[in-house]
Amino acid sequence: MALHIGTARLPTVPQDLTIAVLTDVHGNAQAAEAVITDIYRCQPDLIVNLGDQVWGQANPEQALALQRALGAVEVRGNNDERLMLPLDQLSLAHLRLQGWLAERLPLSERIRLANLPLTALIAEGTVLAAHGTPASPWDSLILGWDGQTYWHRTEQEIQDRLHVADQVEVVLVGHMHRAAVRELEGRLLVSVGAVSYQNDGDPRARWALLTRRQGRWAVEQRQVAYDHQAAATWLLSNQPVDPSEAQLHLQSVTDFFQ
């Protein structure tokens, strides 16, 4: 469900603006706390959460509480949808995790996350936030991935997935667990690094700081150290349905670009 806005002249966007963007917490409270501490140090004007908030086993209750307290603009991720998908649409592993999360998270919160909007327009319509693409949290905008290897999408592939209003100057996406930045026809496209489950060999949690200074946008992809062992220990101490997730917190996967 893409958002559409009218053609009426928009109010002036502030010349100076600071936006903090986090994505893909995946229920990892230790990583979320470290990122949020770093975010507050930067004193942003606005915080945006690109989704996949709780689909994981490293203290999702606390991870959810930390994210709720941000008062962020939120969009839904593909794994937020999984929280409420019918059982016959889930693999066995996903079915087990859905049930495990249902025992720990309030139904009202799972319904809320599964029904967050696909997109959000902020900064007077000049910034669009989505999880994967503006049309789908299951697709990806800037990078492709086949399970082991990343590739940079062609300009045509990106254009086919974009479909945003002319006044949009910045598009923010998550989903790929890999930081990347592209410029296309004067528009800044940002794939924000994930808070949890890194895919570049560096286990630090990620988030992005988007700034507008004197009318020009810039982005800083930030990395934050956190206690991976504590995340893995909490997970293994709380009857996980997939204990192998602990290893993802202890040792970052390295997926390569072709």
Please write the tens of the pLDDT for every residue from 88-114.
Answer: 999 999 999 999 999 999 999 999 999
Across-strand partners of 211? Answer: 18, 218
> Is this structure's pTM higher than 0.75?
yes
Q: How high is the pLDDT of residue 1?
A: 29
Question: Tokens standing for 112?
Answer: 């809320």
Q: How high is the pLDDT of residue 255?
A: 66
pLDDT higher than threshold 70 for residue 257? no
Mean pLDDT within 217-230: 97
Task: For each of the domains in the chain, give its residue range(s) and CATH number, in order of start.
Answer: 17-251 (3.60.21.10)
Report the alpha-carbon distance of residue 110 to residue 256 in Å, rounded: 34
Provide DSSP, 128-154. EEESS-SS-TTS-SSEEE-SSEEEEPP
Please write the tens of the pLDDT for every residue from 118-160.
Answer: 999 999 999 999 999 999 999 999 999 888 889 999 999 999 9
Q: Do 173 and 133 meet the contact criterion of CB atoms below 8 Å apart? A: yes
Report the alpha-carbon distance of residue 201 to residue 256 in Å, rounded: 10
Please write the tens of the pLDDT for every residue from 163-198.
Answer: 899 999 999 999 999 999 999 999 999 999 999 999
Cβ neighbourhood burial of 198 (10 Å; 0-12, 13-18, 19+): buried
Of the candidates 105, 123, 90, which has an alpha carbon nearest to the alpha carbon of residue 13?
123
The DSSP 8-state label assigned to residue 254 in this structure reads B
Q: How high is the pLDDT of residue 85?
A: 97
Q: How high is the pLDDT of residue 201?
A: 85
Q: What share of the chain has pLDDT > 90, as a percent?
A: 84
Indicate the Cα dihedral angle 42, 60, 255, 228, nearest 10°. Answer: 70
H helical segments located in the chain: 29-42, 60-68, 78-82, 92-102, 107-114, 155-162, 228-236, 245-250
